[in-house]
């Protein structure tokens, strides 16, 4: 059995055991090194989805977001694909990819010469 298939099987068993309950990881080990980190880690949002939804999202990404391709792969209609995507999307929190900087971040960027004084003033005004 390949390492990928073993990981998938392990993941399937874990999701069956937990039955959708919240999982907290307490130890992480880098496989190629003898480094382990202990603490309390939340799983990423996509890892918290049901296995079937994870497979659906993987298929969606692999099909480059083509709903037509998803219809073909899963043998269901356009509205069914859209409905499932909407349900999954509603269960995920939006991740801010361009968060508003704090005042101290704006000042730090100004000190480092990354922005002009005018840029800093505009950024500070946007924070109000």
Q: What is the pLDDT of residues 16-65, one digit of tens each?
A: 777 767 778 888 888 888 899 998 888 888 888 888 899 999 999 999 99
Confidence of residue 7 (pLDDT cuts 50, 70, 90): low
What does the domain layout of the chain look like in residue ranges?
Answer: 1-43, 45-95, 99-128
Task: Give the distance from CA 80 to its chain's centroid.
Answer: 23
Quote the CA–CA distance of 54 and 95 in Å, as a whole number. 18
Confidence of residue 5 (pLDDT cuts 50, 70, 90): low
- Tell me the pLDDT tens digit for each residue of 113-125: 999 999 999 989 9
H/E stretch holding 32 reads none
- Tell me the pLDDT tens digit for each residue of 77-128: 999 999 999 999 999 988 777 778 889 999 999 999 999 999 999 989 988 7
Task: Give the distance from CA 117 to its chain's centroid.
Answer: 36
**E strands within the chain?**
24-30, 35-42
CA angle 39/41/45 to nearest 5° reads 175
Tell me the CA end-to-end span of the chain in Å, nearest whole number: 58
With H, G, I as helix, E, B as strand and everything else as coil, classify residue 117: helix
């Amino acid at each position: 059995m390949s390492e990928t298939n073993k990981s998938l099987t392990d993941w399937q068993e874990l999701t069956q055991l937990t039955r959708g309950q919240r999982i907290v990881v307490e130890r992480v080990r880098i496989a190629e090194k003898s480094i382990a980190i202990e603490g309390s880690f939340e799983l990423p949002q996509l890892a918290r989805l049901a296995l079937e939804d994870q497979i659906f999202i993987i298929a969606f990404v692999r099909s480059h977001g083509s709903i037509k391709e998803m219809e073909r792969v899963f043998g269901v209609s356009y509205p069914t694909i859209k409905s499932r995507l909407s349900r999954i999307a509603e269960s995920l929190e939006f991740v801010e990819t361009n968060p508003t900087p704090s005042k101290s971040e704006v000042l730090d960027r100004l000190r480092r010469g990354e922005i002009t004084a005018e840029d800093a003033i505009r950024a500070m005004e946007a924070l109000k």
